Amino acid sequence: MSHFEVLHKVSLVAAILPPATVKPVIERLFASGERNAFVTNARGTLIRTEWIQRFLPVISPEKELLRFLVPDAQVDSVIREISDAGGLRYPGSGAVYSVPCDELYHTPDFPIWEGLGAEEPGTDASIGLRENLAAISCILQPEQTEAVSRAAMQAGAHGPVVYYCEGRGLRDRLGWLRITKKRTKEVMTVIVDNADADAVVEAMTVAGRLTMPGRGFLYRMPVQKGIVNLPSTVGSRHYAADMQQVIAALDGLVGHTDWRRQQVVRLGSGAHAAGLGLEGEDTALGQSEPQTRLTIISSGTHMPTLLEAATAAGATGANTLSARFVEAESKVAMGRRLNRERAWIQSVVPTEQAESVMQAVMAVAEEQEITEVCLFGQPVTRVVTYHAQTVDSAAPTARSYRGVSG
């Protein structure tokens, strides 16, 4: 019978890289103590700059999404090594960022970072959880992706990174009407500064009509730290640098991104101030109750069982995706690693239900004697989707990150 162990002070580090730089990055991290990596195929988004070509479909360069479970004390060094091995100091080279996990549960057979099980005093990535960056993920029908991608880039985001998944939730409850809704979904991810996050969320919401039934699901997560050098345009340049490079240089000179804020806060009867925070600029962020994104990692064989357990415990919807499970101890044949496949189940649920859902999944895993299972939760600060109208709904409470109110 599987016995779950609980770990604290763990972060999920994600890297978005072109395929050519994936191998050197993984080899560098394996030499540093990482034992596994989860690799998912993805694609970028580029818009042509010439005016007549802007009406053509977007360009989709090949990307790969790497994910690592890293102890908080090692996050800085891991990000530096990924940046060095992947050449992320160059424009358009990729991105890397980290999001702390609330608690991580895993079976003893699940390979984790060497030394991750030892409780180390000190670094806790969520103590300094400042939303200098925000990760925005949007789950859409494939035919909506291009329109929402263009809207996000016009609002100031980089070219979104898109990967495939399968949706579970509304479609499964439609009966024979499910033929009107595809199971295949696309997840669009952008990493933006807080100065641009609200504008990007609003643009994506309007372009995708996400507040209508069955149109999609968007959520925003706080990023503790990261490097973002993803492109958004392609074409002939008339100057030595494009606008993205100029803005990045100004950010470095000024030392922050507050100079890019464009929100206008009304003061009193007629005065105005831009981005001073004298009145609530982000009141929309507190309109929904605190949410948590749950992630369950297991083999593809046991994925349906764990998914059913999560939905039965209160997860109203989930998306599943497959990832290559690259292990440091995996066999090598003809110069190539022989990798296994792992399924990822992700669901955004109210924070008050997150613990009960995880306990239900762990109970089923122990009952079925499922090995190599890992699950964890991460904070979500905003959700945009269709909500049925309710009467006398209770006011939401503020979200706290391990003792720090947000």
Cβ within 8 Å of residue 151, ≥6 positions away: 203, 204, 206, 207, 208
Once rounded to an integer, what is the mean pLDDT over residues 289-305?
92
pLDDT of residue 52: 65
Cα–Cα dist 64/37, whole Å: 12
Q: Which of 376, 339, 347 is nearest to 39 (CA)?
A: 339
| Higher-confidence position of 150 and 266 | 150
Write down the mean pLDDT value for the chain: 80
| Higher-confidence position of 248 and 309 | 309
- What is the chain's percent helix, strand, coil content, to nearest 5? 30, 35, 35
Q: Is the pLDDT of residue 153 over 70?
A: yes
The rounded percent of the chain whose pLDDT value lies above 90 is 39
Alpha carbon dihedral 384, 388, 390, 396, in 10-degree steps, equals -20
Q: Is the pLDDT of residue 306 over 80?
A: yes
| Higher-confidence position of 26 and 49 | 26
Q: Is the pLDDT of residue 394 over 60?
A: no
Neighbours of 150 (CB within 10 A): 17
Separate counts of helices (H) and strands (E) for the chain: 7, 24
What confidence category does residue 281 fall into, taking pLDDT thresholds of 50, 70 and 90? Answer: very low
pLDDT tens per residue, range 187-214: 999 999 888 899 999 999 999 999 988 7
pLDDT of residue 253: 80
**Helix 351-367 to helix 303-312 angle, to the nearest 10 degrees?**
140
> Which neighbouring-strand residues pair with 98?
13, 225
> Which neighbouring-strand residues pair with 264?
274
Once rounded to an integer, what is the mean pLDDT over residues 102-122?
73
Neighbours of 280 (CB within 10 A): 10
Residue 113 burial by Cβ neighbours in a 10 Å radius (0-12, 13-18, 19+)? buried
pLDDT of residue 214: 79
pLDDT of residue 242: 67
pLDDT tens per residue, range 350-359: 999 999 999 9
What confidence category does residue 184 fall into, taking pLDDT thresholds of 50, 70 and 90? Answer: confident
* Lowest mean per-residue pLDDT among 44-48, 150-154, 176-180, 307-311: 176-180
Cα–Cα dist 103/105, whole Å: 7
Q: Is the pLDDT of residue 339 over 60?
A: yes
Q: Which of 54, 63, 119 is nearest to 93 (CA)?
A: 63
Q: Is the pLDDT of residue 122 over 70?
A: no
Which range of 63-72, 83-92, 254-263, 320-329 scores highest in mean pLDDT? It is 63-72
The answer to whether residues 171 and 318 touch, using CB atoms and an 8 Å cutoff, is no
pLDDT of residue 67: 94
Domain locations along the chain = 5-256+290-387
pLDDT of residue 246: 78
pLDDT of residue 392: 54
Q: Residue for token digits 């985001």?
A: 157
